[in-house]
Amino acid sequence: GAGVSQTPSNKVTEKGKYVELRCDPISGHTALYWYRQSLGQGPEFLIYFQGTGAADDSGLPNDRFFAVRPEGSVSTLKIQRTERGDSAVYLCASSKGDMRTDTQYFGPGTRLTVL
Amino acid sequence: AQSVSQHNHHVILSEAASLELGCNYSYGGTVNLFWYVQYPGQHLQLLLKYFSGDPLVKGIKGFEAEFIKSKFSFNLRKPSVQWSDTAEYFCAVNARSGSARQLTFGSGTQLTVLP
């Protein structure tokens, strides 16, 4: 079946601009996660949705970052007033949301470059 | 807070050599453990996972990992590597209970297998 998809695959923007990154999870997966991966590092957690609500947004670095999942499926990560330090690969993952045996499946990521 | 350490940043092996990649985690409670692999130009894929039961788990492509609770370790092994195993390998953990479902990743180990 179809995996997690993310669009765009690459995004180049200028410092100060607003960007939106989209994630389409595996059908039927209730949990959705956003991570950020910088060069030479492992992915770092940003935010987690269970259904439509953000169950944990403790990883968002500051209030320039915001994410929504209005219908419990597709999610959009929004970054305002982008800074050069926001350049990274933004990964989305989804899972069935089982409490004890949850397995997350990752999308291909969006590579964000802030000039 | 959880943390994951992968001690080897870059490992170079010849084909048919045996592989062991170290992973240690720090967390006070019960965890789920994962190894993900990222082949060149591809997205993160699940290699294997441990939830409970037999501490020796087998994954895809001949990989296995052993959970040693007393050492807080989950090392990845393969008896004989192939050139196609060249990739970056990430160890990850999450808590088996509670509201925090996000994965905590290590910084990754780049494996290069020489033909």
SS (H, E, C) chain A: CCCCEEECCEEEECCCCCEEEEEECCCCCCEEEEEEECCCCCCEEEEEEECCEEEECCCCCCCCEEEECCCCCCEEEEECCCCHHHCEEEEEEEECCCCCCCCCEECCCEEEEEC
pLDDT score, position A30: 93
pLDDT score, position B99: 67
The DSSP letter of residue B96 is S
Give the lowest-confidence range in A1-10, B59-68, B94-103.
B94-103
Average pLDDT over residues B27-54: 93
Q: What are A35-80's pLDDT values in tens digits?
A: 999 988 999 999 999 989 888 999 999 999 999 999 999 999 999 9
Residues of chain B contacting residue A90, judged by C-beta atoms under 8 Å apart: none
Q: How far is A83 from chain B (nearest CA, A)?
A: 23
pLDDT score, position B29: 83
Chain A interface, mutation test: which of B7, B9, B43, most A Cβ atoms within 10 Å? B43
Stated as kind and residue range, the H or E segment containing B85 is none
pLDDT score, position B47: 96
Average pLDDT, chain B: 93
How many other CB atoms sit within 10 Å of the CB of residue B30?
13
Do the chains contact at A106 and B107, CB–CB below 8 Å? Answer: no
pLDDT score, position A2: 84
Within an 8 Å CB–CB cutoff, is residue A59 touching chain B? yes
For residue B107, give the nearest of A31, A41, A109 by CB distance: A41
pLDDT band with cut points at 50, 70 and 90 for residue A16: very high
Share of chain B above pLDDT 90, in %: 83
Handedness of CA B45, A47, B104, B53 (dihedral sign): negative
pLDDT score, position B55: 95
- A1, pLDDT greater than 70: no
Within an 8 Å CB–CB cutoff, is residue B67 touching chain A? no
